[in-house]
Amino acid sequence: MAQATVPTAPSMSSEEMVRLAREHTFFSWSVQGQLDPIAIDHAEGIYLYTPEGKRIIDFNSQLMSVNIGHGDRRVIDAITAQAQKLQFVQPAFVTEPRARLGEKLSQILPGDMDKVFFVLGGAEAIENAIKIARHYTGRYKVLSRYRAYHGATFGAMTLTGDPRRWPNEPGLVGVVRYPDTHRWGEKDPRPVAESLRGLEDVIMYEGPHTIAAVFLETIVGTNGILIPPDGYIQGVREICDRYDILMVADEVMAGFGRTGKWFAIDHWGVTPDLMTMAKGLTSSYLPLGAVAMRHHIAAKFDSMYYSGGLTYSSHPISLAAALATISVYEEDGLIEHAAAMGPVMRRHHEALAARHPSVGTHRSLGLFGILDLVRSRDPYVPLTSFNGTSDEMKTVGKYLRDHGLYTMIANNSIHTNPPLCITEEQLAEGFAIIDGALEIADQAVTG
């Protein structure tokens, strides 16, 4: 592991950073007056450091994205070298990182996916996947689910089914929803046949000839690490084939080793028609996203005009960061390591569930994991309402922060998605802090 950031002495205190940033910069997903951000000076491996030197475990890889861990010298050097050689050419030109990364991705992508369109992040990947699907099929409807997040740009926000969509409506014309694999507030997923019948019903009612694509997060991320039961992903593929509709797998969060395989869809041996990626592609060292497409879809654009583009498409420095990041996954065996750490994380989840009545259920695949907290296991009553929070969850969040662990807390859930380079000892360190926080949640248990 080549972790070697060289921290220089911070010239600002946490207090100063927070004050100025709050005064002059706008924060996403927030009521600006209620913010209490953490100031970070530098980071290494799984640890973040404040300007005052307080160490914080990053148990969520920031936004499930710094998969290789922080401060990896190999990626920093690749970024520096590319910046010294060629900073930018517009996307009609080609560069060595573009040639190499395109080829490399086609080797690790599922099935016959062998062409990628480079953008700057996940939402842009989704926007372009919508366009590619519409151009390719000549149809305009796109299907997505309620328990889904696909990004915050206009089209991606409409595809997003969760409440982050509400204030942004009305959205894109032609987005239709189909049933989720998991109902909110229930412990177990729906039977596969029921979920698939729901999708097929929607296709029938909408008219298959009007539908360009079915979008899905292969494993739903921020809406609860919802792992589809075996057979579901294969079933969606089969339905899309039967009705000649494109299947678009959103692997922005689940891709790049998070689940112990390059892509989550590899667990089910399915090749989607289009696949979106971002986050782990550069481990967030620089912004980059991509849409991958199957050979026959790309081939259609050999003679058909694609009406879409971005100034920063195929930005050479981001592409150099991605190439180096992929080398790190390979050199350090991080995909295999995530697979090996999967059972270790699951054992921690099981131990916490055995000790704490507030743990209603837990889900994980590789290092993609979550604990759902409840007031009561039977009947199953989540510790928050849908799209809500509760005093107990706020106290749990405060405990974790006070004890030096950062992770995502959403609704009644504690996410556990550390960088893939995490060791068994470091996993134990993180879960020991969560163990302490759950004592608080246990006090709310009534049944």
Please give the DSSP secondary-structure letter assigned to residue 383. S
Among residues 340 and 410, whose Cβ is nearest to ligand PLP?
410
Of 101 and 440, nearer to ligand PLP (C-beta) is 101
| CB of 348 closer than 8 Å to CB of 247 | no
Residue 391 burial (CB count, 10 A): 11
Q: Which stretch binds ligand PLP (CB under 6 A): 24-32, 144-152, 189-197, 315-323?
A: 144-152
Stretch of 73-81, 249-257, 293-301, 392-400 lying at the interface with ligand PLP (CB under 6 A) = 249-257
Strand partners, 247: 214
Give the span between the Cα atoms of 342 and 358, in whole angstroms: 22
Work out whether 410 is an interface residue with ligand PLP (CB under 6 A).
no
Pair of tokens at residue 137: 């099929």
Measured CA to CA, the distance from residue 432 to residue 420 in angstroms comes to 19
The interface mask with ligand PLP, positions 263-292, x = CB under 6 A, is: ---------------x--------------
Query: Residue 150 Cβ, how far from ligand PLP at the closest point, in Å?
Result: 5
DSSP 8-class letter at 407: -
Q: Closer to ligand PLP at the Cβ: 291 or 437?
A: 291
The DSSP 8-state label assigned to residue 72 in this structure reads B
Please pick, from the candidates 1, 18, 21, 63, the single residue that binds ligand PLP as defined by CB under 6 A.
63
Kind plus residue range of the DSSP H or E element containing 320? helix 316-331
- The reply to whether 127 sits near ligand PLP by the rule CB under 6 A is no
Stretch that binds ligand PLP, among 214-222, 223-231, 405-413, 423-431 (CB under 6 A): 214-222
Shortest distance (Å) from residue 124 CB to ligand PLP: 7
Task: Give the span between the Cα atoms of 259 and 269, in whole angstroms.
Answer: 14
Region binding ligand PLP by CB under 6 A among candidate stretches 12-20, 193-201, 248-256, 355-363: 248-256
Q: How far apart are CA 238 and CA 247, in angstroms?
A: 10
The residue from 252, 291, 326, 371 that contacts ligand PLP (CB under 6 A) is 252
Nearer to ligand PLP, 69 or 121 (CB): 121
Nearest approach in angstroms of CB 65 to ligand PLP is 8
How many angstroms separate the CA atoms of 268 and 249, rounded?
Answer: 12
Q: How many CA atoms lie within 13 A of 6 on its CB side?
A: 3
Phi and psi for 277 in degrees, rounded to 5?
-145, 160
Q: Kindly state whether residue 250 participates in binding ligand PLP, applying the rule CB under 6 A.
A: yes
CA distances for 197 relative to 143, 178, 277, 280, angstroms: 14, 10, 28, 33
> Does 221 participate in binding ligand PLP (rule CB under 6 A)?
yes
**Binding-site residue total for ligand PLP (CB under 6 A)?**
15
- Kindly state whether residue 121 participates in binding ligand PLP, applying the rule CB under 6 A: yes
Out of 43, 105, 213, 253, the residue judged to bind ligand PLP by CB under 6 A: 253
Q: Out of 72, 162, 217, 273, name the contact with ligand PLP by CB under 6 A.
A: 217
Nearer to ligand PLP, 192 or 410 (CB): 410
| Minimum separation from the CB atom of position 137 to ligand PLP (A) | 21
Q: Name the closest residue to ligand PLP (Cβ).
A: 122
Q: Does 233 bind ligand PLP (CB under 6 A)?
A: no
Which of 231, 295, 219 has its CA nearest to residue 269?
231
Query: CB atoms < 10 A from the CB of 428, how many?
Result: 12
> Are residues 59 and 345 in contact, defined by beta-carbon separation less than 8 angstroms?
no
Phi and psi angles of residue 276, each rounded to the nearest 5 degrees, phi first: -100, 145
Residue 224 touches ligand PLP, criterion: CB under 6 A: no
Strands 47-49, 42-44: parallel, antiparallel or unpaired by DSSP?
A: antiparallel
- Beta strand residue intervals within 33-75, DSSP E: 42-44, 47-49, 55-58
Binding region for ligand PLP (CB under 6 A) out of 21-29, 42-50, 54-62, 215-223: 215-223
Distance (Å) of CA 334 to CA 131, 134, 343: 33, 36, 15
The nearest distance, CB 153 to ligand PLP, in angstroms, is 7
Q: Which one of 118, 136, 149, 263 is in contact with ligand PLP (CB under 6 A)?
A: 149
DSSP state of 415: E
Among 151, 174, 179, 189, binds ligand PLP (CB under 6 A): 151
Q: Residue 70 in contact with residue 45, Cβ under 8 Å?
A: yes
Q: For ligand PLP, what does the binding mask look like between residues 64 and 103, x meaning CB under 6 A? A: ----------------------------------------
Where does this chain bind ligand PLP (CB under 6 A)?
63, 121-123, 126, 149-151, 217, 221-222, 250, 252-253, 278
